[in-house]
Chains A and B, each alone.
Chain A
Amino acid sequence: MKLKDQFRFVRQNMKKNRTRVYMTILATAMGCAFLIVLASVGFGLQKSVVKEITERRIMTQIDVYGQETSENGGYRQLDGKDVQIFEEMSDVKAVTRRIMLQQEGKYSIGDYHQSAQTVVANFPSEISAGFELSEGSLAKDKTEVVVGYNFPLNLAVQGEQTEEMFDDKGQLKEEFRYNGKLIGETIHLTVRKLEEGKQIEKVFEVKVAGISKKPTKEWAEDRSVYISEELLKDIEEFTGTPKGIVLDSAEQVKPADLEASKNTFDDVKIYAENMEAVQGIVDSLKEKDYATYSVVNELKEVNLMFAIAKAGLIFIGTIAILIASIGIYNTMTMAVTERAPDIGIMKAIGANPRIIKKIFLLESSYIGLIGALIGTIVSYGISYAVNIVIPLIIKQAFGEETPPELIFSDIPLSLPIICIVICYGVTILSGLRPAQRATKVDVLRAMRREV
């Protein structure tokens, strides 16, 4: 029997009881739509979270915090030797290392003041990692500094800072900023130390040589002042502590700890050649007991969490399809019962039981597939509506705006495919028994109209 004829048989049979078939298709479609919409929330939120993570970080960046040591069961800060190891690793583009002045640097020019983080950076590696200047040049000697892009934007007259001084983004308004020239100008850096409970200050004069480029990420802010290593040495000489740390006499700092922090870096970042290389670098760092953080780590965890959540949602959705499959089972059983006399006659004139079984399986999978297809189309509509309506509801109910990029429901192509496969499998299973029953119809009883 030709497949085309089998399909024709199926369609004719389905026409004989339209309402019942439609209802069964409806139930299947509802089950499928339920599964897809439910799981789409998992996919949507995952997409949003992953997007958030990847947008907030530089994908190729690996933060290295330190190395695990057996001594004290603690961490060891990184130094030049570690940096050398990192630089020799493959797929590493740059290793930036920064030393932070361990106190707030107070900067001033004229009446304008600002407290900023003071950093000793290794410029060749910073530049390989993407550091650029927007104005001026790099520092040529120890009295010259480079300031971050946001540094001049935050220089304000000292005194009380009121709310009007800032715009809605929290930025200092233009009229309150220092508006003069900065490149080539001298600014004052005030550092302090404690001596027998008394605070002693010293002012260092530095010249601004350059201003860094605006950070590419909108949320990022660079207010740091990049000073030379020699200047740090001078500051250390004044404070008498490594990295200019201010020691309260009340605090008991172990001299050994202070010694250990000498010649170490406070911020080491490895930049991989590309995103794909990150995992490999992270793995080999882990082998060497370095503590790292990268987006890859975070993404892995987030993705694992969402994978579990999505599996759970698909499981719940599958239950809906299973319920719908009871409908298919019922419909097919009734169809077989109703058509038993015809089946008997067909068998009598030589229809192969295999073909009879196939026709019924075809019918149930037809119902299942049409249901799955309709369910899929409907779920795209629901998903679209959900993304519009839920933010409105949240706004109405809680008065809070949801971030515009937050997606509640997302249907990747894999989802309808998963759904259709599940639906098809369930349909075949539920149609199997009725189809088997059809092949068992007794010819003689059917011809006597006893079935």
Chain B
Amino acid sequence: MAQALDEIKIGGLGSSRKRVEDDRFLRGKGNYTDDFKLTGMLHMEILRSPVAHARIKSVDTTKAWQIPGVHMVLTGEMAAQHNLAWMPTLSYDTQAVLATDKVRFQGQEIACVVADDPYIAKDGCEAIEVEYEPLPAIVNPEQALASDAPLIRDDKVGQNDNVCYRWEVGDREGTERAFAQADKISTLRLHYPRSHPSPIECCGSIADYNPATTKLTVYMTTQAPHIIRSAVALVAELPEHMIRIISPDIGGGFGNKVPVYPGYVASILCSILLGRPVKWIEDKTGNLTSTGFARDMYIEGQLALRNDGKILATRFHADTDNGAFFSDAQPSKFKIGLFHSAFGCYDIPYGYQTAQGTYTNKAPGGVAYRCSFRITEAMFFQERMIRAAAFDLGMDQAEFRRMNLVKDDDFPHRTPFGFLLDSGQYEKCLDVALDAIGYQDFLREKEEARSRGRRLGIGISTMSEPLGAGNSREYDIIGIKMFDAAELRVHPSGKAILKIGAKTQGQGHETTFAQIVTHELGIPAPDIVVEHGDTDNTPYGMGTYASRSTPTAGAATAMVSRKIRAKARKLAAHLLEVSEEDVEWELGRFYVRGAHDRGVTIQDCAMAAYSNMPDGLEPGLENNAYYDPPNLTWPFAAYIVTVEVDPETGVWDVLRMVAVDDCGVRINPMIVEGQIMGGMTEAYAMANMQFITFDADGNCVGSNYMDYLLPTAWETPGFELHEVTTASPHHPIGAKGVGECAAVGGPAAFVNAVMDAIDDTGVRNIDMPLLPDRVWEAITYKRDVSGAPPVKTD
């Protein structure tokens, strides 16, 4: 009898096989952008503005040019001669590559020096003399909207104020009616602070323009190499076939490596002008002060409530602080991304949302830091608001959620903002989480501790977020639709290479995407290599962010595998000398219907594709698939945190943290758990310590790792993970996105826990991060604590 393959053993769906990437990463054998050394390569450093807002009176580069070893000092004026002093942004605004008229944030790029080595290039930067005429700095939307505020974007024709967009969505009238009928209206206002994805590897590029072939090769730290190639072709007006973008190993992205940055553009221009490879590697301060930040949103909203706990409607407004240029890296047709996914997991009939963006003298580039386009802010506000409403009603926060969550038989569920939730078992997830934490016991423990002067608290966060951009109807980047692709080549020996348009930055694509092929074809995962990141060698794709790789490129991988299987079936029929209709499939093998022992393996078919194909059948066994997802995927999560707050110092410690994630079918459970733990760590970071603020002069507080705090293993709490599985009904293998859930849903659980620990103070909100001094102030003065910049200083 032919033995059936054990899918787990060969590394298929559900196998926690070890990450194939880790071997090279752990042994220092990875190849990051900075590891490449090309013959004749020069080094570029960027001179950045020390001030936040100033008119540039002069840029004198004379002394820099005189330093031996300096090859080029590129200024905005020079870039302008090539039409590259400015570049378009992903949000249809413009951004300065090198400042010509004004500097608009501290850290803005002013000039570049290209030299034999980076030391000389830095010396060159120091030798440039810039004369500034200082202007008042604006560091929050309120200042930006003041009637006497200086105009930040005086470069834009017709721009008379500091507003960069206005946006509304939902049913305004229906919502007003529902509010009029409410028994109670609950209100909350908060600031989601500016944060930075801060990958350990900073951004960088090596532009290599070959004047003989006129081909431009760029090694760069990008999460989306294909879209960069198209962007370079359009912006720099170079022919697209003569551009090759190589994104080698990436040391973390988290959204930071989606946009196009001035450094990339300048290195390309310098390479073209000099005819030599030019390497630019950003330093940590450059990364933290100039590249895509995240969040920085002021949200105020309300819930219309019935006394029995039913939510009738929601309305909320967001003011976003977009920095000096509106360069939010988001591909949806909605100005504020998917912010209106807030409250999606609750069955609320009416909703209305407005938003306004403002220019400020802060770094541009609102990126989706481990989330899909403003979802983090949406879910945070949602869960803080839900807790506030339960509190206002005097209802148990778990029961309030249970009452309003979308029910299992309600899917697909249309939200008042138009999203279609695909599937879920929300109440079950909540129950698993409550059970795991021992909810009732903890409530008793809390009361008992309170009577002895100790402050314990419990916080819950339940949410479903839309992951996996696109579909092509609502999502595009510079007009290119949000599909993704996979190409699969099976070699004669049955080994295979899978090429995808997505690009891993630590998510483990090289491991999991092979597992999808294994699931579809029965080729053992170790026999499949995954290639990605090189535009000359992989099919077009929109890159990796927004937890979209499995929903899109993963789906394409399943689909291309099925195409291969269809062709292999023809080959199997030929080998088995039966007609195709009489061939049955089981994992890794075709056999003759009714004669299970008479079969051929997928490897036999692969060999036949090159050595023994039937007449009329094209040789070879390879194909590709482009996948346009019909909908986003909607994972669900229930997170519960317990804390103890020290009222004398405001310091709080996490006692326990329970995470229940339903992300559909798990391809590699170990990698999924790693993603959840990583996301949870970032959630804890945002709740506890990690933010970038500014002083009144626009100086960035958080420009290095002494001030921009990332939690270490020491303070990161342990996480207890649980799972529930509801397959996505529209994804070929039932998977949903997961990489971001914990970072998106986690912060509210921590904050709600601290709020619960001080629930006798009447305090409604403390802005993140919940630094000890803020918590102490809230407890001591029984007042809300705002974290909005400017930071107070003596």
Determine if chain A interacts with chain B. Answer: no
